Amino acid sequence: MMDTAAFLDACRALLGEANTISDEAAMAPYLRDWRGRFTGRALAVLRPADTGQVAAIVKLCAEARIPIVPQGGNTGLVLGSVPDASGRAVVLSLARMQKVRQVDPVNRTMTVDAGVILQRAQQAAAEQGCLFPLSLAAEGSCTIGGNLSTNAGGTGVLRYGNTRELCLGLEVVTPQGEVWSGLRGLRKDNTGYDLRDLFIGAEGTLGIITAAVLKLYPQPKASVTALAALESPHAALRLLSILQDHCGASLTGFELMSAFCLQLVARHFPALPQPLAGRHAQYALLELSSSESESHAAALLERALGVALGEGVAQDAVVASSAAQSRGLWHLREHIPLAQAADGKNIKHDISLPVSSIAEFIAGTEPKLQAAFPGCQLVCFGHLGDGNLHFNVAPPPGVANEEFLHSQEAVNRVVHDAVAAFGGSISAEHGIGALKRDELARYKSPVELNLMRAIKNALDPLGLMNPGKIL
């Protein structure tokens, strides 16, 4: 077996000094997680330039039995892209692999390296008159490889699906250092097992995604945004149904925000205008897109909102009358996490439920939290159309945030037990990483865990691919 010194020499020979980083200070940004909760250690940070170098590194790691932590933009929220504290692993950063290999507007596909930053991918599509609809808060920093490995969600899922649904083909370096060239730009392909979807969402534990063929869509001609005031989550569900029935695929956004969320935003970002604020329990941010025109989108939205107001489903509503007003409404939604951060740490849950159970879930779970942690404050918002809630729990007034974090385990138990009872998911869009590994083991059936372990052992028998994540 190759020893560590020989391994590092071989890496330097392959990648050059500049891309074989072992200096502690230079490694630091690769070892600390996005939220700054954990800093791991590593033998080195390796920065290959292309797929061939990734494959060569993986072969060296297999020879030297060195664990590999693949890393994209390192913006993950579940400690999936940072190494553990052992210092045995290398971080394999895909950040230098930034080629947009091809944009094909007729096939409506784009082939990109894993290290391409999401925003750059969006731009490359737009330059050819197409839309790459994946959109999320970290889009200026996160990479396509990370989006795929975590099956990222975001605000466009209602209409366009998760990252999984936006990918047609992959190139992957296997744990043996071989290259699977599955960069197919096909809408239909029934030739054997769906390896693509196995690697998507596997968080780098089964291999390293080095490139992908992504689906593009026609650019909508116009989008119109509205804010509706509602008396309850139940009313929000009825509004969602009305909008889906009237607008079909034109409905491209449906975000729920509780009054408390908007109060937090008002407290920390008082300059943001808040139409309708202060008098209602819940708010829905709606977005309609049209392949025809802005007036078509606006008329369709006004008609559907008219029905909702007429039936008493919505209490009030305002339709943005300009692109600037639309952006202003989205800013409200986007500033909720920022307002939370300014307010101090809270206990976060990224959950999903059958859409039809959401009102009942909220109504049942909030009292349980109040009973166990009197005075705690629920920061509940999210992608209602996808059944995805960010169901965060802040301390009671007067209790220090850091102190409240000691209750994290107990708070998780209340929330996740309720999620499980409704057939929901304890990680809707953030993944498992190292952070939720124990939770996964708790809530998955032994049959499902055994199937996952069998696949992991079959593809990565040495257990070197992102160890300690997921399983």
Q: What are phi and psi of 385, to 5 degrees?
A: -60, -25
Of positions 4, 86, 181, 321, contacts its own copies by CB under 8 A? 181
Identify which of residues 322 and 445 has a Cβ nearer to its own copies in the complex: 445
Check residue 295 for interaction with its own copies (CB under 8 A). no
Stretch that binds its own copies, among 87-95, 119-127, 212-220, 275-283 (CB under 8 A): 212-220
Locate 220 and state its tokens: 């909508």
Residue list 423-462, contact with its own copies (CB under 8 A): 423-432, 436, 440, 443-445, 447-448, 451-452, 454-459
How far is Cα 40 from Cα 399, in angstroms, rounded to an integer?
A: 30
Beta bridge mates, 388: 352, 383
Q: Smallest gap, in angstroms, from Cβ of residue 44 to its own copies?
A: 27
Identify which of residues 53 and 151 has a Cβ nearer to its own copies in the complex: 151
In angstroms and rounded to an integer, the radius of gyration of the C-alpha atoms of the chain is 23
Check residue 355 for interaction with its own copies (CB under 8 A). yes
User: Binding string, 240-279, against its own copies, x = CB under 8 A?
Assistant: -x--xxxxxxx-----------------------------
Distance of CA 284 to the CA centre of its chain: 21
The number of residues that bind its own copies (CB under 8 A) is 96
User: Binding string, 402-421, against its own copies, x = CB under 8 A?
Assistant: --------------------
Identify which of residues 344 and 423 has a Cβ nearer to its own copies in the complex: 423
Check residue 468 for interaction with its own copies (CB under 8 A). no
Residue list 319-338, contact with its own copies (CB under 8 A): none
Is residue 350 within 8 A of residue 430, CB to CB? The reply is: yes
How many helices (H) and strands (E) the chain has is answered by 16, 18
Q: Smallest gap, in angstroms, from Cβ of residue 4 to its own copies?
A: 29
Check residue 348 for interaction with its own copies (CB under 8 A). no
CA pseudo-torsion sign 409, 203, 419, 245: positive
Cα–Cα distances (Å) from 428 to 37, 353, 366, 389, in that order, read 21, 9, 19, 8
Check residue 200 for interaction with its own copies (CB under 8 A). yes
Check residue 206 for interaction with its own copies (CB under 8 A). yes
Of positions 42, 56, 157, 329, contacts its own copies by CB under 8 A? 157
Q: Smallest gap, in angstroms, from Cβ of residue 121 to its own copies?
A: 19
How far is Cα 160 from Cα 183, in angstroms, rounded to an integer?
A: 21
How far is Cα 322 from Cα 301, in angstroms, rounded to an integer?
A: 14
Cα–Cα distances (Å) from 17 to 92, 149, 267, 395, in that order, read 15, 28, 49, 48
How far is Cα 451 from Cα 433, in angstroms, rounded to an integer?
A: 18
Check residue 191 for interaction with its own copies (CB under 8 A). yes
